[in-house]
A and B are shown apart, each in its own frame.
Chain A
Amino acid sequence: MSKVEMKATTMKNYKRSICSSCTHVPYCSITTYMGNISSCSEYRHYLDDNRESEYMVSEEMMGETVTMIPNKEGILS
């Protein structure tokens, strides 16, 4: 099993974490403690990879004036 596959399998255990649906998990350089994450600016849902890169805001900081990565989570609202 490759490292990426291993990490993907491990993800199934992150029931308490938004990492459980984040595409960065196989290589995330920010954290290896993915068990209980409730907020992350780098969060990227795998649904986003199938969409055009539109500006997507999140939480209490959203608007729509620049082009950035979809579904980046920001600050808890």
Chain B
Amino acid sequence: MTTLTKTQRTQRKQGMLNNVMRQFDHAADIIQLNGNIRKILEVTNNEFVVHFPVRMDNGEVEIFTGYRVQHNNALGPYKGGLRYHPTVDIDAARALAMWMTWKTSLAGLPYGGAKGGIQLDPSKYSQEELQRITRRFTYALGDNIGPELDIPAPDVNTNPQTMAWILDTYMSTKSPAERSTNMHVVTGKPIGAGGSEGRDRATGYGVFLTIKFWAEQKKIDLRDKKFIVQGFGNVGYWAAHFLEKEGATMTAVQDAYGSIANDEGISVEKLLEYTKANKGSIQGYASAYSIENSEFFGLDCDICVPAALGNQITGKNAKKIKAYLIAEGANGPTDVGAETILLKKGIEIIPDILCNSGGVIGSYFEWLQNKNGEIWQLDEVMAKLEKKMRESFTRVFETSKERNIDMRTAAFIIAIERLEEAYVQRGIFP
């Protein structure tokens, strides 16, 4: 058995936070960020830890611990997900809240960053218990969340149903006249309960759009270009769907079950149909052959879309990559060592903070519709998403060119400069 020292435990706990801070520091150094503003952005504004009792199905009462970390609201209400998982704690919430601040800032949204959740394993509770836990947590947070203050969204093990419970509970604490004005206290709601059309595909569509905009800038036609996708979940599927629609060819896919390839092309829609009938797995799809998982990133292609999880492209496999563009659909799929190798090789990376920001923009549209009492059609949502993503992409691309820096650093610089501008213009109270 391995015993970790206190220092090792602390380092491991703070790994995620360190990673977020490293990216922040790098960009802050380049722009010589005002020291006082740096101090503000390095810490979280508010951290709530709530302990609350919930009656279980067997009549016993259990005490739960919930967290909500609000990192920064210089640009608008705090925004970020709520997750239900044993790993939820204050350190994880801090790192993820900070990440949300940069993400919403880069996307040009009127939001800050937050994150939270409840430390629990949902498999141990019935749906009825989860509902009571969610409602009691919402009550415990009270007016520390709100449509103009802090707007939670789904995350790991939370879903539109969870958001509907939060909405209902939050509204119930308001006077009858106020209730319908609070629909935008959460996003990611079921469409029938105030959710927005197009949120399911917003992230994947955003990934596709950034690839399209990049290709436009480079005067590359996406038709017949080969792409590979890691992760055939919501993001991977929709990104592949739109790339295929544009004329590109998917030649390999990797999911949790394995990796498949076919240089002649794999139909995105047919593969989706197959996975639906095959417990979600791509394995065994007849029009492709299985490959070793370790071969995946080294396959011959033009575009690589890692849309599953972090640290997939590493110093070990970066040298094998043949794609000339990596579009980071997942969070942090390229590690620091790999990035150095890729950039040296001239491979460009559309960074996660830009590439997968379609989701939070989709959330913003849901919030706006609720706030203004509007219901937008799918085509309207998609058109607005394209406009917003184009603005973000263009800013990052131009900054990268002007300053002769990579797109990730450019993205962080834009995000931080927007926050800096807000503080410089508003000043510090009192």
Contact = CB atoms under 8 A, between A and B. Distances in A.
Interface of A: 15-18, 20-21, 24, 27-31, 33, 35-47, 53, 55-77
A72 B230 CA distance: 14
A21 B85 contact: yes
A60 B159 CA distance: 10
A75 B331 contact: yes
Given A29-B256, A30-B254, A41-B307, A61 B156 contact: no
A42 B256 contact: yes
A60 B153 contact: yes
A63 B86 contact: no
Contact of A40 (B103, B257, B308, B358): B308
Most buried by B among A36, A57, A67: A57
A45 to B, nearest CB: 6
B170 interface: no
Given A24-B257, A31-B311, A41-B231, 16 more contacts: A21-B86, A29-B256, A33-B311, A36-B15, A38-B16, A38-B95, A38-B331, A41-B232, A45-B123, A58-B156, A61-B203, A61-B359, A62-B159, A63-B201, A69-B280, A73-B155
Contacts of A71: 156-157, 159
Given A36-B12, A77-B155, A61 B259 contact: no
Interface string B255-267: 1111100000000
Contacts of B80: 77
Given A29-B256, A57-B154, A71-B159, A76 B81 contact: yes
B309 A31 contact: yes
Contact of B230 (A30, A46, A55): A30
Interface residues of B, number: 74
Given A39-B310, A62-B200, A74 B234 contact: yes
B384 to A, nearest CB: 15
B356 to A, nearest CB: 4
Main secondary structure of the interface of B (DSSP, over half): mixed
Contacts of A64: 160, 190-191, 195, 200
B9 to A, nearest CB: 10
Contacts of A74: 203, 233-235, 359
B158 interface: yes
A60 B85 contact: no
Most buried by B among A30, A61, A73: A61
B235 A61 contact: yes
B123 A18 contact: no
A16 B12 contact: yes
B87 A20 contact: yes
A69 B277 CA distance: 11
B234 A72 contact: yes
Contacts of B112: none
Interface in B107-135: 115, 121-123
Contact of A24 (B153, B160, B256, B359): B256
5 contacts: A38-B87, A40-B309, A62-B195, A63-B198, A75-B203
A61 B100 contact: no
Contacts of B360: 60, 75, 77
Nearest to B1: A13
B233 to A, nearest CB: 3
A75 B155 CA distance: 8
B15 A63 contact: no
Contacts of B115: 76-77
A73 B85 CA distance: 12
Contacts of A67: 276
Contact of A39 (B188, B191, B330): B330
